Amino acid sequence: MLVENDFEIKKLTSFKIGGKVAKMIFPETVDEFVQALEEYPQAFVAGNLSNTLVSSDGFNGAVISTSKLTEIKIDGTRVLAGAGVRGPKLSQTVAEAGLSGLEFMIGFPGSVGGEVYMNAGANGQCIADVFKSAKIYCSEKGLITLTDLRFGYRTSICQRENYIVLEAEFELVPHEGVKEKMDENLAFRKSHQPSLALPNCGSVFKNPEGNSAGRLLDECGVKGLEVGGVKVWENHANFIVNHNDGTSQDVINLMREMQKRVKEKFDIELIPEIRFLGEKL
């Protein structure tokens, strides 16, 4: 499998932020992935790095990437996808087969492993609605298959048990209007979220129960707020964009200010939706 030392991870992250990673590993099969995890049990497992903030000081450890686990199999209404398959690619592939249930992925920059891990969703659809089973790596049992991941809002058992998703199977339904639904979702996303031409990490904070993080932040007047080379996007208060070669510390400082304002005004603690990698974060 491909292994690179002192890897410049910045080019892989959707935030375009991050220093050197001591060892970057790219398995091409599930067996290679298991081999890498057994060799580096403390490694950080990364997907498409679309919701991960990597320290500008780098990471003095191993990172195992799912990005080369990209196989897609369609058997009737059942779809099997590797953890590294990008959301838009899978959405388009199943749509061409006339299958509905994954239209929401069309505008997602992430990959299948991360989307199952966090029960991603949008526009009235989510992973839990179509999930059938997943091939999981767990340090105690090795490779296992689970049909119940105890999904909740932006969460699954994978987060609580440190399970790593390597493949996922979905049960979809035939539908003739899939393309139209995808186009609607993509148009909605373009009008409500920044494109990756403006480097960003997706939604910064989870929605508090019964509330909207974006609305709370908007009422705190954070739109356009800048710290260093990053700022809150002017069109939606729950997105931070890297508009001028920002650093990880710029992002952290801006997030803290956003949290502080919401806490002071509403007495609500905003919880980050993005993950962090690096000792100094």
Output the six-digit token pair for 136: 């999981």
Mean predicted lDDT score pLDDT of the chain = 93
Which pLDDT score, from 0 to 100, does residue 61 have? 96
pLDDT tens profile 141-179: 899 999 999 999 889 999 999 899 999 999 999 988 788
Of the candidates 32, 161, 171, 273, the residue annotated as catalytic is: 273
Q: Is 203 annotated in the active site? A: yes
pLDDT tens readout for residues 215-251:
999 999 999 999 999 999 999 999 999 999 999 999 9
Q: What is the pTM of this model?
A: 0.87
Give pLDDT, residue 196: 65
Active-site residue, from 78, 150, 154, 189: 154
- Mean pLDDT of each 10-residue bin along the chain, 281 residues long: 95 94 96 94 91 95 96 98 95 93 86 93 90 94 95 92 95 88 78 80 92 97 98 96 97 98 98 90 71
Q: Any catalytic annotation for residue 78?
A: no
Catalytic residue among 14, 203, 248, 275: 203
256 is catalytic: no
Domains and CATH numbers, the chain: 2-65 (3.30.43.10), 72-179 (3.30.465.10), 195-273 (3.90.78.10)
Cα→Cα distances 230→9, 39, 123, 205, Å:
19, 37, 28, 16
Two tokens at 23?
């060892």
Nearest alpha-carbon partner for 109 in 68, 152, 52, 173: 52
